[in-house]
Amino acid sequence: MIVLSGASLVLPDRVLSAGTLVIEDGRIGEIRSDNPSGGHTAFAFHGHYIVPGFIDVHVHGVDGVDTLDERPEDDAVASIAARLPRYGVTAFCPTTVACRPEALRRVLDQVRRARETPVARSARVLPAHLESNFINPEYKGAQASACLRSPRAALDSDRAGRPGGEERAGADDDFTAADILAEIERATPDVGIVTLASELDGGLDLVRWLAARGHRVSLGHSGATYEEALAAIAAGARHATHLFNRMPPLTHRAPGLVGAVLQTDEVAAEVICDGVHVHPALIRTAIAAKRPSRVFAITDGTAAAGLSLGSRAQLGGRPITAGEHTALLEDGTIAGSVLTMDRAFQVLMARVGLSLVDAATICATTPARELGLVGHGLLAPEAIADLVVLDSNFSVVQTYVGGQLVYARGQRTESNSRPPAAV
């Protein structure tokens, strides 16, 4: 039994000041407003906050490690999982950029291993988020053009049971759209979110194909019009990838993809909450339009996150540099962020002006509910004890996964901690 006493507990509907939280057998056994009275060790956390563990559904890497790293001696996904608890993350979707099929297979194999055999003192590994090969080249951002493919070619090939007929333009163009779809189908249980541009030829059919197989289809890196976006939502899309970024701007005569997402309750929207990718005023506007229950705070973090300014890393095999606010390709193109989830929570509190309850909702509760993680993402009796202790500045002091202390600021955690149960 672990008893955490004295902190303000951020519950789903209120903040319980000077509360006590009891952890038993990996779950929250009790929440009360009084102090413990006997027998058990109490940790005094006066002036601290306890929030549900952060869940990042869009993170490419951290601390110099990228999901697509080729490290024969290392497992990139497991390495990222081990590093994220220091930032308050208790579960995450390993996220890829458009890549070759063999690279996609390597990542998805790592995701499967991490989910089947969770590693101790690490964040939970959830099914992957693929910023897929089926995005609009005009809104690709830092994605590699040579890896982009046609949804129509993928589906036509799948139906024919043979490789597609795309023209091969060069040395990097030696795989087909069908090869990518085959990897997704091979690893279906380990593919959670798939980002695509529905306006591409065959895009709506690909939305239907993926949704029918249980994947969460996300609209992003897309030039879809308002009407095209609504058609994709009707076809089964339920997610929007980093709202406002890599899509046409919202205007009063052409609301576009942004307008469709803001007005449609079926879709939950990611927002990069660093205050740079999206201005705090627009973060506030999006949350007001959709409510905290329909918005995810994400980092879009890269391997440059957690590194010092000017440090070098990689994103999908391409060199990036840690800038002051974003990661950058060599030509200056923004390539994801250097944000971590603890910092996202701080931005939501200090710059966006959210309440503790709403900040915890979009950093933990909404992603847990949308991904079907029953018992996760909230502080409540019988909930899974994935939680974070924050100091008065909202910096991470301790992180617990399944009731096990996996990170403590300035301390080593016990080497015999049990791994978290798979979800």
Catalytic residue IDs: 300
Is residue 351 packed enough to be buried (19+ CB in 10 Å), middle (13-18) or exposed (0-12)?
middle
> Sign (positive/negative) of CA torsion 394, 400, 298, 277?
positive
Q: Which of 343, 345, 336, 332 is nearest to 302 (CA)?
A: 336
Q: CA-CA distances (angstroms) from residue 345 to 73, 342, 393?
A: 34, 5, 11
- Sole residue written with tokens 């997610």: 239
Q: Which two tokens stand for residue 146?
A: 């040579």
Alpha-carbon distance of 225 to 295, in angstroms, equals 21
| 3-class DSSP string for the chain | CEEEECCEEECCCCEECCCEEEEECCEEEEEECCCCCCCCCEEECCCCEEEECEEEEEECEECCEECCCCCCCCCHHHHHHHHHHHHCEEEEEEEECCCCHHHHHHHHHHHHHHHHCCCCCCCEECCEEEECCCCCHHHCCCCCHHHCCCHHHHHHHHHHCCCCCCCCCCCCCCCCHHHHHHHHHHCHHHEEEEEECCCCCCHHHHHHHHHHCCCEEEECCCCCCHHHHHHHHHHCCCEECCCCCCCCCCCCCCCHHHHHHHHCCCCEEEEECCCCCCCHHHHHHHHHHHCHHHEEEECCECCCCCCCCCCEEEECCEEEEECCCEEEECCCCEEEECCCHHHHHHHHHHHHCCCHHHHHHHHHHHHHHHCCCCCCCCCCCCCECCEEEECCCCCEEEEEECCEEEEECCECCCCCCCCCCCC
What does DSSP say about strands 387-390 and 334-337: parallel, antiparallel, or unpaired? unpaired
Alpha-carbon distance of 299 to 316, in angstroms, equals 17
